[in-house]
Structure formats: structure tokens, C-alpha cells
Structure 1
Amino acid sequence: MITFIGVRHHSPACARLVRETIEELKPAYVLVEGPVEMNARIGELLLGHELPIAVFSSYKDGERHHASWAPFCDYSPEWTALTAGRAAGAQLRFIDLPAWHPAFSERRNRYADAEQRYAEVVDRLCREFSVDNVDTLWDHLFEVPDPDGLAERLAAYFDLLRGEAEAGEDDVAREAYMASWIRKVRREAGDRPIVVVTGGFHRPALVRLAALPGDDEPVVHALPADAAGGSYLVPYSFRRLDSFDGYQSGMPSPAYYQHVFEAGVDTAASRLTEAVVTRLRDRKQRLSTADLIAATTSGQALALVRGHRHRSRTDVLDGLVSALLDEALDVPLPWSARGTPAPGTHPVVVEMVAALSGDRVGRLHPETPAPPLVHHATAELERHGLDSDGARKLDLARDRDREVSRVLHRLRILGVPGFTRQSGPTTGIDPEPVEQWTIARDDLRLPALIEAGGYGATIDEAAGALLAERVTDVGGDVEKLAGVLFDAALAGIPELSGRVLDAVGRAVGATPEMGPLGRVLDVVLALWRHDRLLGTAGSTPLGVVIGASVERILWLAEGVRGGAGADLPRIGALASVRDALVHAGKALDLDRDAALGVAARLALSAEAPPDLRGAGFGFGWSLGSSDAGDPVRAIRGAFAPSTAGDWLAGLFALAREEVLQAGGVLDVLDEAVDVMGDGDFLIALPALRQAFEFFPPRERDTIAQHLLGRRGIVGHSRALLRLAAEPELVAEGAELDGRVAELLTREGLITT
């Protein structure tokens, strides 16, 4: 005799039904939807952990990397099937495909529900019962009502949901595999009872498939020869189980449903109210006894109107909102839909959702096996004195500190919590070789290490594999690829560089914008030039990327036409090319003459925007080109009120030092500004201010002192640099004064 129980994952009502059925039937076998590769390790699963926990599975080959979780909490029907089955003396079997099977390639969670496939039926049921969503519908039909007849109601519900809909290829494969296990066990059990616990969506198909004749044996799949992977237990948390936090399976509000499972719906409602009130009071919200009474009364009234024998989760929450909030809400209440709360959700409502989620974190039994990465990371932390809390200051110029830094960066890349980098170089350009780190214990460190174990057995191997995956994920985004490259350098993973640089090289050739390429070139050039700390100085692959970036930026620059305003990223890209020619031109055989030719054409082009014309002139001037021309004449020719500031921004970005050192340049700039009328000056002022921001404070002080000297004024230049009001406001005020004086003169009220 086979008893099929279709369940909703993480449902207290289903968990109780599974437990009571097994206790009553005392079956010879209990078959559970779960990863078949864990059958030999069910004893490990039942060691005596503090739930929630999960089976974490990873898979990696040359084509894909996949990770998934099968979580369990006290009220998971699959968990009660295992614990009640063991207590009844039954043989326990997981019967689903292994977690690494291609049928799970699109799933991060084994127990993700198939609700999108029967959304039409759910919507119709929600309208019929006047509820907002599937969670409220589920409570109304199964968690709140009397448990008598629950098995029949569940069977009818899942039969209706499945209907005549065809399952996808992945579910067809899974159901065929699970059915083969059921037939196998049926042959072994004879007349002894069998209990099968699976997701309700699969139950109708399994009832039909299991009845088919056949003596086929389920294949026990092995990992492909070219693949690596495995399954390990990890601590889980209520937060990760909560659909309000993005979890796509089972029930929301895990702390609430834990109370439902332990003490029933009525007691859970009281505990929920208490938890919300306590949390709000802890956050300095004023809640009186009268508020609490009003919330309870309102929730009870809603339960009565909605036909509930006890207050459901939404009855309690709606009652609390009614009693505690007397203002209109801008967004729908989170429990009226699935998923994370919408932006703009009222803070009190956010705290209610958090109170229902709870902060429980699971804990593994001390004898639980761990992947090699956990042991390697633990040993590395102990070896480098990183196994205690506190601040760490590292000087990357010292071999010992650089080794410690690489360990910390590998853990950071792997997403292991508790290791926070407070300061340090953010690109290869940073001259400061000192890092500041904070180390703090974190309950999520162990699960993060176990999950990272899917990438490799050591932290350097795992971090390298994760960075290689990031290369694939970011595609042609050159800035993100440059970030991967810098992370690889910080973590001391040179073997990754070839693959990363190949991806960067391909992306460089397809990048349509100068700005991002300029930022990549800055990072790569700095790493190539002087980053002996990170072991990248003089790297041949980096040199290839520098050459490709220089060529692409110059090609893009000649194609820019028109536009208003100074585009600082594209100006910066030309500055990066200039720096590459200065510092790496000879070593990398960069074509200096071709670059100067592009710059000269930009400087003279009537179609190029003013900022690029100025940058083109500054490019040649800064490199000492004899074709650059006379800067004084160039400045005078470019000084139109609407474009002068943009042209100067390009010039200053590329030739700031030359402007300060060349005789007569500051004088001609002063003259050009001085002859402007008030209106023209007001037009030019914003762009001029932006252009002069390329000069650091010390150099701006030098310019101001020069201007005072030209006018024979004795005084400190700081008075010019620190006005009491914004320059635009001063200019607007001067213009207004002029118009008022003109009007008064015209009307004969004053004489000039």
C-alpha cells in the first residue's frame, strides 16, 4: 500500500499531517523528495542539528557552475518525514535527481514552487475566496481550518492546480526518476506500507506513473568524469527562508509559522502580536496597552468576518496596522503580494515583517563533515593570526603583510562575512600601500565557507574559480572586467590573469564609449608600471591590453561629433592615452606619431566638440609635439563665451603643468576674460569654473597670486579663492546692479 502525500514546502499543516500519517501507518519505507546523493548520508543529516539547515550542492565543469540549496526547518514536511520515519523504524530514501543534474540548472533552490505554472488557477481561487494571494489562500484553506479532512483537501487542491497542464522538461525528468524509485521500493516492500512525501505539484503525476508496470531500476547518477562537485550541510537562517526576503519557495514569515507548528494557530497569533509590539518598543515606538487591546480586538473581528476559527497571520497584521497607523499608506501592504516589501513601505510595517521573519540561525552538530575549504580557511586564519576579532593594519610593501592581505582578499572575494576592508588601494593607481581591515566573528561565516567550498578545496583555488565565473557574468563590461583584474592582483591569483585579460581584450574592441575605456586603461597601466607589490609590473598580457585600449580610444575620439558641455570621462580617456605614451610608449612600441596625428586633427576639427578640440591641443602640447602650435594663439581663437570653458577643460586636463609654466598663457587667459561683457561672462562662468577645477588648491593659489600681481595689488590670494557667496550669485548680483543703474539713469533719477 502506497500513501502519497502532496505537500507545500515549509507548511506546518503539511508537516503535522506527514508526522501523524507515519505514526499511524508505521511504514516500512518513507520516500522523500530530496537529493538522491544524500541517501548514504541520512545519518549525517539526522545527527542532531539546530534547525534551520540546508543541503548545499555544487557542480562545476568546463561549461557551467551551479549551486543549489535544499533547506529544512522544524516545520518542513520533508524533515518531519525523515524524523518521524526514523522513529517508526522505516527505511528512509531520497528519490529525486541529484542536485547537480541539468534538470536543476535554472534553480537555486530545490524546493522552489511551480506556482508560475498554475497562476491562472490560483488567481481564480483567490477571487473565489476573496483573498489577495496564494499565501493568504493557503492559510485560509489549510493552516487555520480544523485539521480533520486535511489530506483529502490537499489532494483535491493539488489535483486542481495540476489539472491538465503539461510539466516542463525538467519536471518530466524528475517525476520519471522519482516514479522509478517508488516502483523499485514497492517491489521490495511487498504488502508493507510505503509513504511518499513530495511537492503537491508532483503528486498527481507520481500516482499515475507509479502505477505503471515495470521492473526498471533507478540509475544512481555519478558526476561526469570532467566535473567536480558535492553536497554538504550548511547552517541556514529564518531570514533566508522568508519570501519577504526574496526566497521563492514555501511560506513567508518563518518565525510565525514556527509558532504555528509548535503551539497552534491561536497561540501563534498571540505570540506574533507580542513579537511585533516588543520589536516596535525596542525601536522607541510608543505603544500603549490600549493600542495592544485595539490591535487584538481588530484582529479577532477580522478573523470572524473572514470565517476563521482563529486569527490568521494576515488577520493579526491587518489588525495591528488598523490600530497602530492612522495615516494613509503610499504602497500596498507587503502581505498583500509575494516578494520583498516595495520601496516606500511604512517603517512600522517593515518592522512588522521583520518580527515575523525572526532571527534564528541554524547550527550544525560538531561531528558534521565539512568540505576541504573550511579546514584550509581555518588553518590559514590561525597561521596568520586572523582567528580573533580586532583591527589589522597591513603594509603591502612587507612580504609578510602582503601574504596576509592576500588571504583576506580571497575571503572577501568569496563573500565570507566578518572580514571588512576599511581602506586601502582601490586601483593600481593608488600610491598608498597601507590597508586597514576589521575582523569580527559572524554566525554566517561557516555557511559561507561551506558554500564557497563548491569552487575549490583551498581559498586561492576557490577565489580564482569565482573570479573566472565573474568574468563570464560581466560579459563585455570593461569596467567590471577591470575590477575583476584588480581583485585577482590583490588576491595574488596570477593564473587567472590570462583568461581575464583575454576577456578584457575582446571587450576593448567592442566598447563604444571612451570614458569606460579610459578608466580601464588607468588601472591596467598603473598595474603594468609600478605594481611590484601585486606582482603585475611589466606584465606582457597587461601590455597587450594597454596597446588595444590606446588604439580603441583614439579611434573613438575621431568619431565624436558635436555636443555641448565638457565630457570629463572622454577627456580623461585622452589623458590616459597620453600617460600610456609617456610611461609605456617605448617598452610597448606604441605608435606615438599616429596618436599625435589624431590629436592634431582633433584640435583643428570644426566638427569635434570644444572639449575634445582643447584636449587634442593639450595632448600634443604636453608631449612636446612641434606641430602643436602656439598656445596663446590657440587660446585666443577658442575664446567664445559659450564654448571657452569646455575648450579650456580639455586643455587643462591634458596640459595643466604646461599652462602654468609657459610664459604669457595666464596673461592671455586674464585678458580674454577681462574683455567679456557682463552677459557673456555670466554665460561662460559655469564652464570656466569646471575647467579651473583641474588645478589643485596650491596651483589655484599660484594663479590667483599672478592675477593680483598683474593688477599691482598687494594682498593674499586666498581672498579671491574664498568668497562669501557662490561666484554665480556674485555675477548675477553684479548684472542686476548694472541693469538697475541703467534704468535709473534712463529715467533721470541719477546722473553718471
Structure 2
Amino acid sequence: MSDDTTWGKAHASGPLLLGVRHHGPGSARAVRAALEAARPGVVLIEGPPEADALIPLAADPDMRPPVALLGHAVDEPGRSAFWPLAEFSPEWVAIRWALEQGVPARFIDLPATHTLAWDTEPEAPSDEDDEDGADDEDAPDTEGEPGAVRDLRVDPLAVLAETAGYDDPERWWEDVVEHRGPGRRDPFAPFAALEEAMTALRERYGVGGRPRDLVREAHMRLQVRAARKEFGDAVAVVCGAWHVPALREKAAVTADRALLKGLPKVKADLTWVPWTHRRLARSSGYGAGIDSPGWYGHLFRAPDRPVERWLTKVAGLLREEDRIVSSAHVIEAVRLAETLAAMRGRPLPGLSETTDAVRAVMCDGSDVPLALVHDRLVVGDVLGEVPEAAPAVPLQRDLAREQRRLRIKPEALERELELDLRKETDAGRSRLLHRLRLLGVGWGEPAVSRGSTGTFRETWRLRWEPELSVRVAEAGVWGTTVLAAATARAEADAVGAGALAEVTALAEQCLLAGLPDALPLVMRVLADRAALDTDVGHLAQALPALVRSLRYGDVRGTDTGALAGVAAGLAERVFVGLPPACAALDTDAAEEMRGHVDAVHGAVGLLAETLIGTSDTGQRDLRGRWRSVLRTLALRDTVPGVLRGRAVRLLLDDGELGPEEAARLMGLVLSPGTPPADAAAWIEGFVGGGGGMLLVHDERLLGLVDTWLTGVPAEAFTDVLPLLRRTFSAYEPGVRRTLGELVRRGPGKNTGPTTPAAGLPGFAAEPDTGRADAVLPVVRLLLGLDEVREHEATHDNSLTGVGA
């Protein structure tokens, strides 16, 4: 501890109050300088007192900010709050200084047990009331409308910046704090000036629209008094500058205790969790956020020449993205930034000047690469790390073990993960991600695989967000391991499912997640629901998920015998109930049923393949019975046209209906006796959904459509036009262009070899062998066949030589 002279210079009497801006690098440097000069006996920090036992972990080598204190209610983990800290946060600097010097450090804010119970707002992090004036979310609605209370809140930085003639609070803060540095002669002068400004603001605006601050500041005063009794006046307090006047105020102990009397309480648990720079940004929704955490981190770490170092870093990023940026660009950008700062009357270039310089010099005036600089550097994707010694719920510890075992590390930057389920490690990663999704922990989201459509491939988009720590804590009620928790959650969801499709989707998730213990219960619930559900739409919606589950089971080596039986029984019920369910449907219901018919058609094909080799010959004939259902739909007049047309198309594609018969059915539907709207619906079912290539290759069908369309009466054409437009707009542009050329030429009028004047090339009766032979050398080169032939010839020659 320093001598009385040094402490007296810091403050005549009482504690040393260091008012700061949360996540301000200038405040962080000033706090360290003040603590080094004053050498207090104890450091009190704004934060939840329950976290005092966690302070020593800040000195652990594996603790890397940004991190956050996570507090959650033990009985309701979803009720939570965060207290984030970055390496440039003054509170973090104060904690590290105290640990390095062996000085006690304590948190003095309102305990989390009250903060979490005070549920007038969904979240109440301790530093969301920061003095930079970000919207404070911890003020209860006391009188009038909530908006009236919010309108009274004061943005201290905005008021001070406006008073100084600035229109941007961030720019004002950079000029007066970040670019000035701590006082070299008097390290306490910046805090005295800031306290004076905040005192004037508190006298003018009172609590500033934050009534909850009165309670928090009362608790802080009580903690400061207790520390002074133990350590005397050698007490340093690091808190938001907005609170300093209230802590300096002489308030009665009884009055402070009266404010704290009767506060609601919950049992709370706290731990350290990783945080990200992106979550520190104000745009992420965090109340005490900052616009540019990456920039602030750079200012805090740069020992000198921050502008030159920053622009060099920007140049490196742009080079990684294959942009041509040389050292000359960096030099010119530095000169431009300094010139802009001088023209704007700033002591040093700030973020706005460096951004303008980067846009003009390195990005050629484009905001596209500049957006990358903002995302990667100004904000950043830094993810903190927490040591294993930090307390955590058992489920979190098991998740960490699984992540290490499977070598899949949480990262703040979104990335794609390609998995080959034939490999044990990738299969384990897939199971872990599916189990977490089942538990509501959205670490990964499935994506479309590139380059392969096999069921052994999976693609995931991974991105770890700090809020997922809360989701893990919530999921801890289901079990102590990821496997046990996912199993318990699946069983509970199956029992509480409200629709058959939900149970079938759950069965699919159980197979994907590798939950064999949950599958029997899910299958029993599925069988019971399927037996009681009489809605054919529900049955048809459930069948595809079951069939997909069979395929996934084959890839993952899961026993799906019971699932196959349920799927086959479900298919039989769909076959029986579908024809009567398709009668007398309106337009919307018919369109929805068409989707079910398409899904069942694909599912039946896969299911029939799965059942090949089983002893039940009845189940193996699923395709034949399904085709009988389609024939019934195609020929029944009471079925809407869109369903009849779709049934004919599916039979035609499967080869169960010849082209002549399909043309005959189309001709009947498109005859003058059929209302135009019904005929248009039939066409929508037959060639809708991207089926234009059928008309391209079968000009007879195209001719029938063309003849019908030209014969539609004028008064009925406007009624069928929207449906026809929807049908043909789904085709690819090239298909539409080809159909237009065929219609212009006249479908069916040119069946011989094409000539330049005959129409589109490519529709000749016989292949053009001359044109085909012309591409053979290129094909052989691409396949490497010439190299193989050359190698074989060389080998044969060598053998000939040996024989000779």
C-alpha cells in the first residue's frame, strides 16, 4: 500500500472512486495507472457479489477474455443474466491488477439473487446502465406506459458530447479519452473531471429514468462502508461513472437498508462462460455494448502508432481476400487518415477517419470490401476461453468432454463442417449435433451438402453463441450427460406430442441422434397415434419422415425393423383412405393434397426398396397397390383436376401408363366439354412443378395443350390465366424459351432432321455422328484415357524388348 501522502493526493478522505465507461480502453488504462499510483488495500468492482469466489480464476492461464459472468436461477435456468468483460474492460483490468498485487478484490453490485428475481424486464445485467447512455433495460415500469419511462432515460455521453459541440458521442469519447491517454502527472485527474461532469448531470436529471439504480447504489454504499471498516480509507471502487455521485453522497445506513428491504429473491448460481466481440457490439442487443469492440481492443493493445498498426492489419485482411493492397496503399491511407483528422480538428485519427481512408485508398470507394473489414476487424469474431476449473453444470462438462473427444471446437466465426458418416469420428460428431438440436442447443444447423446427395454425407453450419451456455444450463434438467439428457427429452416430447407428424419427426431425430433407448417409447407412441388418427393428410404427412428414418438407420447401422413395420402399416392406411379423402376438395385443399401425394409417391418407392428381401410378400408389393391408388385417382371424376393430372403424370413417369394412354386422357380433359378452369387445373397437376421437359420431348402432348389453350373462350381465359402463369413460371428460362420456339414452329410439324431454316437444332430424328465425334478428343483428355493408352503402349514395348 502507498504512503498517506500518495493516498491523500488521490483523495482527501474516503474511498477512491474510479468512474469508468464499461468496455472503454481509455478507462482501462486510466484505472491501471490510478491503481498503480494509489496502491489501495482492497478493490471493489461493480458486479454480482456471488461471483467473488470466481475472481481467482481470472489469473488462470487458460482464461482468455472476452468472457462473461453467467448468473442463472437454479430452479429456472432460462432466467439468466450476463456480466461481460473484455481485456479492455476497466473491471477486468482492476481484477487482474488486484490478483497480480495480492490485493483483495470484491464485487459490490446488487446480488444476482435479487437481479434475477426482479423480473419486470427479461434481462438485467449489471453494467447495462453504462454511462455511454445505451438503452438501459433494468428499469421497472412504475407509472404510466412503459414508453413514458423509457423516454425519460438520459444518455450521459450524448449530453456531454452535445455540450462540447459534437454530434457523435463515440467521436467525442475518442477525442477526450482514448486519444489523450491517462494523465501523466496526475493519474487521478481524468476521474475527477468525469465525476464532476456526472455530478452535474445527476443534479440536472436525477436518476435519469433508471429507478432501479437507486436500489443498486444503496447496496453499493453499504458494501463500501463495510470495506472501509475493514481496510480504512484505502479502498478503491471501480464502477460506472454514472454511479460515482451517488456513491459519494452521504446517505444514512437505515435509508439504504430500507431500499433493500423486501426485494424478491431466487437461488442463483454463477460461473464464467466464453463471450465474443460480436456480442459486445451494441447491435447485438446487449445494453452496455459498444459499436467497435475490435477497434477498442486494438487501441488497448497497441503500444504505439495505433493508426499505422491498424491500417497494416486491414491491409493483411484484404490481401487474404485476394485484393491487391501494397505497402504503398498503407502509407497513403495513413496520410489520408491524418489529413482528415487535422481537417476535422481531432487530436488523432479515429475510427471514422481510418474507415474513410480504407474506403478511398484500399477499397476503391466500394463499401463491399469495407463491410468485410467492419465485420472481421472493427467488430471481430474473437471467442474467449474459460478454464476447466470454472464451475459448470454436469451437462456442460460432459459436452466439453465430447467436444474434445470428437475434436470439434466451438468457434465464434460461422463455418461449414462436412461429415462422412462412414467414418466413426464424423458419425459421432453428427450424433452430438443432432442431440444438441433435440435439446434446443442450436450450435449447428443442417445445410445442403455440396457435391454429393448420398445419405452418408452431412453438412452443418456451426457457430457458437454465448447464449448457448444458457441453453445448456436449461437442458441440464433432463440429465447429466448429453446422451441421457437427449434421451429423456425425446421421451418427454413423444408423450406430449400433439400431432402424428411430430412423433414421426421425433422418431427420425432419435435415429439421427443415435438414441436407441428412446426409440422404443417413441415407436409405441407412434403406433398408438397412427392407429387412432383417421386424417389421411396426417398419415400422408407422417409417412415420408418414417421412410427417411429407415434410410438413416441403414447408414448408421441402427435396427429399424419395428420402424419398417409401422411404416408399412401406415402406407396401407394411406392407400385405403386416400381416394375418398381426395373427393370434393376445394382449390387450396387440393393443392395441399397434391403435395402429400408427391411425398407418398417418393416414400413408397424407398419403402419398397427397404422391404426387398423380407419374408412378408404383401409388404413387398407396395408399389403395385400404390399404382392402383393412382389409377383410381386418375379416372375418378369427383377428384379435383390437379390431383387427376398429377396421378397421370406419376404413372407415366413410372412406365405404368403408356404415352398413347396419357395423350388420350389429356385429350379427354382438354375437350370442349370440360370447363376451362378444370382443364387448367389438370394441366397444373400434370406438368406443374418444373415438368416442362416432358412437353419439350413429347410434342404430341404439347400440341394438345396448345390446341386447347387457343380454343379457350375469351371470357374464360382471364380465369385460367393465373393458374397457367403459375404452372409455366416454374420452368427454367431455357425450357420456356424452347417451348416458345416449338409452339411458334408448330408442335409435331417437324419430325425430320433439322436444317438452319427448320427451327431449333437438336431435334433431329437421328444423332449427328459427325458432331459427336468432334468432342471425343476433349472427352478423352478430360478422362485421361490418352495417358492410359500411352502408358499401356510403353509397357507393351518394354515387354517386347525383354522378350527379344
TM > 0.5: yes
Q: Does 1:452 align with 2:472?
A: yes
| TM-score scaled by length of structure 2 | 0.59
Aligned to 2:192: 152
Counterpart pick for 1:673 among 679, 693, 704: 704
Q: Does 1:523 align with 2:535?
A: no
1:676 corresponds to which letter in structure 2?
Answer: T
**Equivalents in 2 of 1:380, 1:277: separation in Å?**
38
- Residue 478 of structure 1 and its aligned partner are, at CA, apart by 11
Aligned to 1:435: 456
Aligned to 2:413: none
Counterpart pick for 1:491 among 497, 513, 518: 513
**Equivalents in 1 of 2:21, 2:523: separation in Å?**
44
- Residue 80 of structure 1 and its aligned partner are, at CA, apart by 1.6
Counterpart pick for 1:277 among 300, 312, 315: 315
Give the conservation status (yes or no) of the 8 Å contact 1:455–1:465: no
Give the conservation status (yes or no) of the 8 Å contact 2:292–2:378: yes
Aligned to 1:636: 668
How does 1:343-382 map onto structure 2 within 5 Å? 345-351=367-373, 354-357=376-379, 361-364=383-386, 371-373=393-395, 375-377=397-399
Aligned to 1:573: 596
- Residue 482 of structure 1 and its aligned partner are, at CA, apart by 7.7
Give the conservation status (yes or no) of the 8 Å contact 2:47–2:108: yes
2:739 corresponds to which letter in structure 1?
Answer: P
Aligned to 1:335: none
Aligned length: 637
Aligned to 1:291: 329
1:348 corresponds to which letter in structure 2?
Answer: L
- Residue 568 of structure 1 and its aligned partner are, at CA, apart by 5.3
Aligned to 1:647: 682
Aligned to 2:108: 95
**Residue 422 to residue 289, structure 1, CA distance change in 2 (3 Å):** closer
**Equivalents in 2 of 1:130, 1:501: separation in Å?**
72
How does 1:387-466 map onto structure 2 within 5 Å? 393-394=420-421, 406-407=431-432, 409-410=434-435, 434-436=455-457, 452=472, 455-456=475-476, 457-463=480-486
- Residue 730 of structure 1 and its aligned partner are, at CA, apart by 1.7
Aligned to 1:741: none
The CA RMSD measured in Å over matched residues stands at: 6.6
**Equivalents in 2 of 1:675, 1:315: separation in Å?**
65
Aligned to 2:135: 116
Aligned to 1:106: 122
Q: Does 1:142 align with 2:173?
A: no
**Equivalents in 1 of 2:74, 2:566: separation in Å?**
26
Aligned to 2:611: none
How does 1:668-707 map onto structure 2 within 5 Å? 673=704, 676=707, 679-680=710-711
**Equivalents in 2 of 1:435, 1:19: separation in Å?**
56
Give the conservation status (yes or no) of the 8 Å contact 2:67–2:384: no
Aligned to 1:710: none
Aligned to 2:306: 268
Give SS of 1:71's match: strand
**Equivalents in 2 of 1:248, 1:268: separation in Å?**
28
Give SS of 2:108's match: strand
2:233 corresponds to which letter in structure 1?
Answer: R
**Equivalents in 2 of 1:560, 1:157: separation in Å?**
73
Q: Does 1:303 align with 2:341?
A: yes
Counterpart pick for 2:238 among 197, 200, 204: 197
Question: Which stretch of the first structure deviates more once superposed, 306-315 or 245-254?
Answer: 245-254
Q: Does 1:729 align with 2:729?
A: no
| TM-score scaled by length of structure 1 | 0.63
Q: Does 1:34 align with 2:47?
A: yes
- Residue 115 of structure 1 and its aligned partner are, at CA, apart by 1.2
1:101 corresponds to which letter in structure 2?
Answer: L
- Residue 77 of structure 1 and its aligned partner are, at CA, apart by 0.6
**Equivalents in 2 of 1:558, 1:124: separation in Å?**
70
- Residue 670 of structure 1 and its aligned partner are, at CA, apart by 5.9
Question: Which stretch of the first structure deviates more once superposed, 71-80 or 18-27?
Answer: 18-27
Q: Which runs of 5+ in 2 are unaligned?
A: 1-13, 137-152, 184-188, 410-416, 530-535, 608-618, 620-628, 651-660, 692-697, 751-804
**Equivalents in 2 of 1:674, 1:650: separation in Å?**
13
**Equivalents in 1 of 2:212, 2:569: separation in Å?**
44
**Equivalents in 2 of 1:45, 1:422: separation in Å?**
41
**Equivalents in 1 of 2:489, 2:175: separation in Å?**
44
**Equivalents in 2 of 1:559, 1:115: separation in Å?**
60
Question: Which stretch of the first structure deviates more once superposed, 514-523 or 76-85?
Answer: 514-523
Give the conservation status (yes or no) of the 8 Å contact 1:5–1:198: yes
Give SS of 1:192's match: coil
**Equivalents in 2 of 1:730, 1:652: separation in Å?**
16
Aligned to 1:8: 21
Q: Does 1:321 align with 2:356?
A: no
- Residue 280 of structure 1 and its aligned partner are, at CA, apart by 2.2
How does 1:247-266 map onto structure 2 within 5 Å? 249-263=288-302
**Equivalents in 1 of 2:520, 2:78: separation in Å?**
20
**Residue 559 to residue 687, structure 1, CA distance change in 2 (3 Å):** closer
2:295 corresponds to which letter in structure 1?
Answer: Y
Give the conservation status (yes or no) of the 8 Å contact 1:269–1:311: yes
1:115 corresponds to which letter in structure 2?
Answer: A
Aligned to 1:79: 92
Q: Which runs of 5+ in 1 are unaligned?
A: 330-344, 507-513, 588-595, 620-629, 657-666, 695-721, 739-752
Give the conservation status (yes or no) of the 8 Å contact 1:636–1:672: no
- Residue 11 of structure 1 and its aligned partner are, at CA, apart by 0.7
Aligned to 1:697: none
**Equivalents in 2 of 1:580, 1:46: separation in Å?**
58
Counterpart pick for 1:47 among 39, 60, 80: 60
